[in-house]
A and B are shown apart, each in its own frame.
Chain A
Amino acid sequence: MHISNGIIDGPVAAIFGALALAVLTFCVLRGRRDLDDRLAPMAGLVAAFIFAVQMLNFPIFTAGVSGHLLGGVLAALLVGPWVGALCVAVVLIVQALVFGDGGVAMLGLNITNMAIIGTAAGYLLIALLLRVLPRTNAGLAITAFVSALVSVVVASQGFVLEYWLGGTTDLGGNLAGLAGTMAGVHLLIGIGEGLITATTVVTVAKVRPDLVYALRARRPVAPAAPTVPVAGGAR
């Protein structure tokens, strides 16, 4: 979903750049508190993971952007919304600076869509669903799947909003078509993203529940069964 240089005009890009900078500053302030010895390597790995999955991308012919997995919800689940948004933002910054993936001048727009809108929409849903759904692995899987699916579609509509505000070519009535194409394609991507997010998070939650940020507030339901020492050390 990277926007390349020249698709959105300068003033709109500048406004969204300022918006992204303001939100990221807030995330830095909040994230600094979160980033402890356990979260720092996790944040790095989440960013590396997102970087790797974003390599797989394909063009959406009529929309001027590429479709790929976003990873915002995975980040929000594992490292929290503040550090999560920063992880996605770092991925986007490095991609823009070194790999020419998304224009440098459009960085504000890309960060707004993928790092901020995607993560925020996802985290709101996570917070809601984790409260409503049963506290089981299935509940966590459904939470991860639904939040990832919705966040990808919502983030794709961020692009439509930006194009409506400052697209360099007037599409006239085709804007609705653009919105439809983006939503349709990202619904498919969202299903893939949801599956990957759910598998990853559930695996981590089974083995190392302490690593899942979204489950931190949760006290263990039953006292943990006494662990039996295993040859070679417990995992």
Chain B
Amino acid sequence: MGAGHAHVLYRESTSAVHRLPPEVKITAMVLFTVAVVATPREAYWAFGGYAVLVAAVAALARVGPRWLLSRALIELPFVLFAFALPFLGTGERVTVAGLSLSVDGLHGAWNILAKGTLGVLASLLLAATTTTRDLIVGLDRLRCPQVLTQIATFMLRYLDVLVGEARRMRVARVSRGDDPRFLWQLRGFAAGVGALFLRAFERGERVYLAMVSRGYTGRMPAVWQGADAATAGQWAAAATVPAIAVCIAAVAVVLT
């Protein structure tokens, strides 16, 4: 029961990036992404600069390029659109390898690929260096409304409950002679989805009541909030990455 409080993407380590307080990392990541998105797409060199920044942070966090790139594949469904754009776009067209492609579409495809990939890499770096507990603490310290952090806390806590209940129900089905293969598992699962929800709720309610009886008031213990909140030095250290990114974006906007 005690397991599973760190999520699958978290990489255990004690690097400088891991030790930074979560609120600093969240802020830096969001600012970095906004700077990337605000960059004009014709400024190709700027995206090279961002990639170097991401690589530097990854090296500092001891996250290997292989881990990072293979996890970045999850964005594939989202950027597939990019590959359709050169065919769908309008305006001036060029011929590449016998295919008539729209210049605007090609730019659009590059835009989505570059910005999408950089955004995914930035969030993967945050995920690799921050536990879910820290993430909630970070959001709380950033003055995120308590209703939201409360829902987020329970969501992350109950994901394990939900997965655990689903596993128990599957074991129960199989031990009663159900022998599902591949897709046919879905049928048994779909038929039991309501029961799964209810079972998970009743278990979750017990978790909640146990928390309330131990003094939970809708906010995680003050010990979590106060301990090692970010110092000015840590803010300054983490600010270097978004600051460089904003400078690159500003130069790119001026130049194009």
Contact = CB atoms under 8 A, between A and B. Distances in A.
A99 B78 CA distance: 13
B127 interface: yes
B148 A28 contact: yes
A154 B88 CA distance: 24
A48 B154 contact: yes
Given A5-B116, A211-B201, A96 B78 contact: no
B147 A168 contact: no
Point out which of A168, A173, A208 has the most chain B C-beta atoms below 10 A from its C-beta. A168
Interface in B80-133: 80-82, 84-85, 88-91, 104-105, 107-109, 111-116, 118-124, 126-127, 130, 132
Interface string B211-235: 0100000100000000000000000
Q: Is the interface of B mostly helix, strand, loop or mixed?
A: helix
Interface string A5-46: 111001001000000000000001001100101001111110
A90 interface: yes
A4 B9 contact: no
A200 interface: yes
Interface string A78-122: 000001001101110110111111111110000000000000000
Contacts of A171: 88-90
A171 B200 CA distance: 46
Contacts of B157: 44, 48
Contacts of B121: 100
Contacts of B37: 5-6, 10, 13, 103, 105-106
Query: Chain A: interface residue count, which band?
Result: 35 or more
A174 B126 contact: no
A10 B40 CA distance: 10
Nearest to A43: B151
Interface stretch (B54-62, B169-177, B189-197, B239-247): B189-197
A182 B182 CA distance: 29
Interface string A212-224: 0000000000000
Query: Chain B: interface residue count, which band?
Result: 35 or more
Contacts of B114: 6
Nearest to A107: B30
Contact of B74 (A3, A35, A99): A99
A162 to B, nearest CB: 14
Given A6-B112, A6-B116, A37-B212, A44 B151 contact: yes
Given A31-B147, A105-B119, A47 B78 contact: no
A97 B114 CA distance: 18
Q: Is the interface of A mostly helix, strand, loop or mixed?
A: helix
B75 interface: yes
A143 B256 CA distance: 53
A153 interface: no
A45 B154 contact: yes
A98 B22 CA distance: 12
A94 B133 CA distance: 12
Given A6-B37, A104-B33, A90 B152 contact: yes
- Leading 9 A-B pairs by shortest Cβ distance: A44-B154, A203-B194, A64-B81, A169-B108, A6-B115, A100-B120, A47-B155, A59-B77, A172-B90
Given A48-B200, A104-B119, 7 more contacts: A5-B118, A62-B81, A87-B151, A89-B148, A94-B155, A105-B36, A199-B193
Interface of B: 7, 9, 26, 29-30, 33-34, 36-38, 41, 72, 74-82, 84-85, 88-91, 104-105, 107-109, 111-116, 118-124, 126-127, 130, 132, 135, 145, 147-148, 150-159, 161-163, 190, 193-195, 197-198, 200-201, 204-205, 207-208, 212, 218
